[in-house]
Amino acid sequence: MIVCSSLKRQSERSGGEAMKLPRRQFLHLAAGASALSVAARVAAALDYPTRPVHIVVGLPPGLTPDIGARFMAQSLSERLGQQFVVDNRPGGAGNIATELVVRAPPDGYTLLLAVAGNAIEAPLYPNLGFDFLRDIVAVASIGRTPFVAVINPALPAESLSEFIAYAKANPGKINFGSPGVGSANHVFVELFKMETGVNLVHVPYRSSMLPDLLSGQIQLLFAAIPGVIEFIRAGKLRALAVTTATRAAVLPDVPAISETVPGYDASGWLGIGAPKDIADEIVKRLSHEVAAVVADPVAKARLVGLGIEPMSMTSAEFQKFMAGEVEKWSKVVKFAGIKPEWRPARRR
C-alpha cells in the first residue's frame, strides 16, 4: 500500500527509530486507503466488461450445453459490446474446466458453464482440490435440457408402464448405455431404478451408444432430446417418456416419466458460474443480462429449438437450486454405489 510504503520510508529516514505517528491517525490513513481500494474495485465492476470474457465449458464442442453456451456468448457479446468466447476444456469428468475457473482471478473475465454434471460430480469426487458449491458462485441460470427414455423398437413395450413390467419380469436382461460412469445419462437411469425397483445393466461407452442401440446390442438409453429426436421421428427408436416433471415442448405427445412414476424429475441444466469473491456488482450485471436474453421471445424460441427449455433464476435462486441438485444426486450416487472412473492427480 502507498500509505505503508510512505511510513516505511519515514521510519528509515529517522534511522530506524519507532514512528511517532499517533495510532488514531495511522488507522485513519489505513481506512482511507482501504476505502479507495474498494471504490476502485466498484468502479472497475461498473465498467465491466472492458476486454474479452471466457466461458469455460467442460464438454466437447457440439453437445447441447456447448451449443447453449455459444448462443449465450453471442447474445452477451451483442448486449455488452465485448466478445464472450467459449473455451472448451473437456476431460476429468468436467472437473478440469471447473478447477480452471475456481483458480482464475475473480474479476468476471473467466466464467464457468455450470451444468447438471457439476452437481453429480460433487458427491462422486469428494477428494477434489475444490468444492463446487463453496468455490463457484451461481450467477444466473439459462435453461433445462430434458432427456428422453428411448428403446429399440424390437423391445416388446409400447409404453413406460409396459417397459417397467417387462423389466421386472426380466431382471438383469435389459442393457442401457451411457457415455461413462457418473454421466447424466447414467445417473438419470439409476434414479429411475431407485424409484421403480427394476434391475437394468449399465454399459458405459467411450464413443457413441447410438449404433448399438439401433442394432439392439443395448435396449435402453436416457438421452438428451436433440441427439435422438430424428431417430424417434423416423421410427428407428421408440420414445417412452421424457425425464422432466412435465412434458417437453419439443415432444408434446411423449408423456413425462412422472405420469407413471410420481415424483420422478431429472434433467440437464445449464447456467453461468464464477469464482468466489467476484464483485457483487459484476454478478448483478451478468445476472441481469442473462435474464434479459432468456426472457427475449426470439431468444426463447431459439433455445427451445436447441433442446433447451428456458429457466430464469436470480443468483440466489440459482445457488439454492444447485445446492438442491447436489443433495439429490448425492443420494442417488450412494444408493447405486457409483464409483468414479477418473481420479484427480495427487497434489504435491
What pLDDT is recorded for position 13?
43
Evaluate whether residue 199 is within a structural domain.
yes
For residue 75, the domain's CATH number is 3.40.190.150
Other C-beta atoms lying within 10 Å of the C-beta of residue 288: 12
Question: How far is Cα 96 from Cα 85, in angstroms, rounded to an integer?
Answer: 18
Last residue of a domain, one of 259, 288, 318: 259
Last residue of a domain, one of 227, 259, 291: 259
Evaluate whether residue 213 is within a structural domain.
yes
Evaluate whether residue 128 is within a structural domain.
yes
What pLDDT is recorded for position 41?
53
Question: How far is Cα 25 from Cα 23, in angstroms, rounded to an integer?
Answer: 5
Evaluate whether residue 79 is within a structural domain.
yes
What pLDDT is recorded for position 44?
54
Q: Is there a single domain that holds both residue 272 and residue 208?
A: no
What pLDDT is recorded for position 10?
43
Q: Is there a single domain that holds both residue 159 and residue 207?
A: yes
Number of domains into which the chain is organized: 2
Question: How far is Cα 4 from Cα 80, in angstroms, rounded to an integer?
Answer: 38
Q: Please, which residues have CB within 8 angstroms of residue 57's CB and are 6 or more apart in sequence?
A: 65, 66, 69, 86, 87, 88, 89, 90, 97, 113
Domain span at 239: 147-259
Q: Is there a single domain that holds both residue 277 and residue 141?
A: yes
What pLDDT is recorded for position 7?
37
Q: Is there a single domain that holds both residue 154 and residue 253?
A: yes
- Asked if 132 contacts 118 with a C-beta cutoff of 8 angstroms, the reply is yes
Evaluate whether residue 32 is within a structural domain.
no
Evaluate whether residue 27 is within a structural domain.
no
The H or E element containing residue 111 is strand 110-115
Question: How far is Cα 89 from Cα 277, in angstroms, rounded to an integer?
Answer: 23
**Among candidate residues 289, 258, 260, 257, the one with its CA nearest the CA of residue 272:** 289
**Amino acid (one-letter) located at 163:** F
Segments of the chain with pLDDT less than 50: 1-19, 34-38, 347-348
What pLDDT is recorded for position 19?
44
Q: Please, which residues have CB within 8 angstroms of residue 101's CB and are 6 or more apart in sequence?
A: 56, 110, 111, 112, 136, 273, 274, 275
Q: Is there a single domain that holds both residue 241 and residue 167?
A: yes
Q: What is 264-316 written as a DSSP string?
A: ----EEEEEEEETT--HHHHHHHHHHHHHHHH-HHHHHHHHHTT-EE----HH
Q: Is there a single domain that holds both residue 105 and residue 119?
A: yes
What pLDDT is recorded for position 127?
83
**Among candidate residues 290, 294, 310, the one with its CA nearest the CA of residue 249:** 310
Evaluate whether residue 19 is within a structural domain.
no
The rounded mean pLDDT for the chain is 88
What pLDDT is recorded for position 32?
58
Question: How far is Cα 305 from Cα 24, in angstroms, rounded to an integer?
Answer: 64
Q: Is there a single domain that holds both residue 185 and residue 255?
A: yes
| Bridge-based pairing state of the strands 53-57 and 110-115 | parallel
What pLDDT is recorded for position 31?
55
Q: Is there a single domain that holds both residue 159 and residue 239?
A: yes
Q: Is there a single domain that holds both residue 241 and residue 174?
A: yes
Q: Is there a single domain that holds both residue 175 and residue 130?
A: no
**DSSP 3-state of 148:** strand
Q: Is there a single domain that holds both residue 243 and residue 287?
A: no
Q: Which pLDDT tens digit goes with each residue over 294-319?
A: 999 999 999 998 889 999 999 999 99
Q: Which pLDDT tens digit goes with each residue over 230-243?
A: 999 999 999 999 99
**Among candidate residues 230, 235, 203, the one with its CA nearest the CA of residue 217:** 203
What pLDDT is recorded for position 178?
93
The x, y and z cell numbers of residue 240, run together, are 417412452
Q: Is there a single domain that holds both residue 213 and residue 309?
A: no
Evaluate whether residue 9 is within a structural domain.
no
For residue 247, the domain's CATH number is 3.40.190.10
What pLDDT is recorded for position 51?
97
Last residue of a domain, one of 259, 291, 319: 259
Other C-beta atoms lying within 10 Å of the C-beta of residue 329: 27
